[in-house]
Structure 1
Amino acid sequence: MTNALATAIIAVSLLAAAFSAVTSFRNRPMGRGDLAGLAVLEVLLVVQAVLGFVKLGGGEGPKDSATFVGYLLAVLLIPAAGAGWGLLERSRWGPGVIVVAGLAVAVMIVRMNQIWSGTGV
């Protein structure tokens, strides 16, 4: 894992969550800004997945890589699922789903860093 990339992903996920929280508090449905935040987050997660698999293929990473690979693949689904669910829910709770998705991605990235470094396993 690259610490700079992980930090960027956490920052973008928290910013997307904060933006969507404001949208939800304003009692508005999900809009383009919410989707843009999720799109940027998804691109960063794809970059992380590619780098993660390259590093694992090169012999780097945790001893037991199965959990790490599970997190690496599962975290890719969260922004897409949040966008789909948010688009289906055309009330103020659509952006609320994105808030939860952004927070979940941030927590999963922290956990992936712990698994990668061998702490908290």
Structure 2
Amino acid sequence: MTNWLATTIIVVSLLGAAYGLVATLRDRAMDWGHLIALGVVEVLLILQVVLGFLKLADDEGPRDSATFIGYMLGILLIPAAGAGWGVLERSRWGPAVIVVACLSVAAMIARMDQIWTGNV
């Protein structure tokens, strides 16, 4: 894991969740800002996955690399699924899906860091 990138992903995800929460509380549908936020999170996640695989190839990383790889591949699906579901849900619950997706990404990144450092 790249620590500065993991921290950046968590911060951006939490900001995206806050933005989605404000829209949900204001009874607004999802807008382009939500999609952009999820897109930024996805790009950061792709960068983290590429760097993670490079470090694993250099024999760095956790003893249980299979779990870590599963997390890396699974986390890439969350922003895309959240965006798709949010677009389909045109009520206030569309941004609520974005909140859940962004909070899930932040939690999974924190868990990936635990796996990477061996603090399971």
Structure 1 runs of 4+ off > 3 angstroms? Answer: none
Q: Percent identity?
A: 66
Q: How far 1:82 moved relative to its partner?
A: 0.1
Any unmatched runs of 5+ in structure 1?
none
Tell me how far apart the structure 2 counterparts of residues 11 and 55 of structure 1 sit (CA, whole Å). Answer: 23
Q: How far 1:64 moved relative to its partner?
A: 1.4
Tell me how far apart the structure 2 counterparts of residues 48 and 61 of structure 1 sit (CA, whole Å). Answer: 13
Tell me how far apart the structure 2 counterparts of residues 30 and 101 of structure 1 sit (CA, whole Å). Answer: 13
Tell me how far apart the structure 1 counterparts of residues 17 and 96 of structure 2 sit (CA, whole Å). Answer: 8
Tell me how far apart the structure 2 counterparts of residues 36 and 4 of structure 1 sit (CA, whole Å). Answer: 21
TM norm structure 1: 0.98
Cα deviation per residue 1:51-95 (whole Å; 9 max; x = unaligned)?
A: 000000110001110000000000000000000000000000000
Q: Which residue pairs with 2:66 in the alignment?
A: 66
Tell me how far apart the structure 2 counterparts of residues 37 and 17 of structure 1 sit (CA, whole Å). Answer: 9
Q: Which residue pairs with 2:77 in the alignment?
A: 77
TM norm structure 2: 0.99
The code of the aligned residue for 1:17 comes to A
Correspondence 1:16 to 2:29: no
Instruction: Give the count of matched residue pairs.
Output: 120
Any unmatched runs of 5+ in structure 2?
none
